[in-house]
Amino acid sequence: MVVKVYGTAYASPKRVLVCLIEKGIEFEAIPVDLIKGEHRSPEYLKLQPFGALPVIEDGDYTLYESRAIIRYYAEKYKSQGTDLLGKDIEERGLVEQWLEVEAHNYHPHIYNLTLHILFASALGFPADEKIIKESEEKLAKVLDVYEERLSKSKYLAGDFFSLADLSHLPFTQYLVGPMNREHMISSRKHVSRWWTEISNRPSWKKVLQL
């Protein structure tokens, strides 16, 4: 069964794509144009009532929220491709912890930076310099905690690559690329080593070429 993934031009759906590639699952990309408002169409809202990206369709099964989708595939195909959940329930607990840290500590700040630095003019509102400055400061503090953590383990949840690392890829790519904030990563020795490792995975390179 080929998994249909909606909205793959954007960052959150790329979280799903890199997971599917790591697990060796075939997918078909279905375009959704946010600028044209296609996420507000009645057809799309039947799939995702909040009008957000991504959604997957896998036969009769529909699922939304990128981090729910990656958990679903990592568990459903546990023994296929890269194991992204750890070898036991305690390791999985730490994967969940760092996946939540990504969602609640890392993402809000990097999302604000993305919105105000990259997308404000396309979306028709003025970039807010105060939000940019505050978000950069808050993200820097979070990265200081990451630096400490990554001085003790190879990846966030331990010495294994997991959903927690993978989940950081799409927005951090914006940060080091079009946002010109690579110094936030490269100035931190262990974060820099971690970023080099995860961003050089063949799965992520393949997503970037799509």
Residues making contact with a second copy (CB under 8 A): 49-50, 61, 63-65, 67-69, 71-72, 75-76, 89-90, 92-94, 96-97, 99-101, 103-105, 142, 145, 148-149
The nearest distance, CB 38 to a second copy, in angstroms, is: 19
The nearest distance, CB 6 to a second copy, in angstroms, is: 14
Question: 61 or 125: whose CB is closer to a second copy?
Answer: 61
Return the bridge partners of 62, or none.
57
**CB count, 10 Å around CB of 149?**
17
Burial of 15 (0-12, 13-18, 19+ CB in 10 A): buried
The nearest distance, CB 15 to a second copy, in angstroms, is: 12
The nearest distance, CB 53 to a second copy, in angstroms, is: 12
Question: 8 or 86: whose CB is closer to a second copy?
Answer: 86
SS (H, E, C) 30-81: ECCCCCCCHHHCHHHHHHCCCCCCCEEEECCEEEECHHHHHHHHHHHCCCCC
* Alpha-carbon span 144 to 104, nearest angstrom: 16
Question: 27 or 64: whose CB is closer to a second copy?
Answer: 64
Question: 64 or 199: whose CB is closer to a second copy?
Answer: 64
Q: Is 59 left (phi over 0), alpha (psi -120 to 50) or beta?
A: left
Q: For the chain, give me the number of helices (H) and strands (E)? A: 12, 4
The nearest distance, CB 192 to a second copy, in angstroms, is: 19
Residue 58 phi/psi, 5-degree rounding, is -130, 90
Residue in the block written with tokens 């799409």: 170
Question: 100 or 182: whose CB is closer to a second copy?
Answer: 100
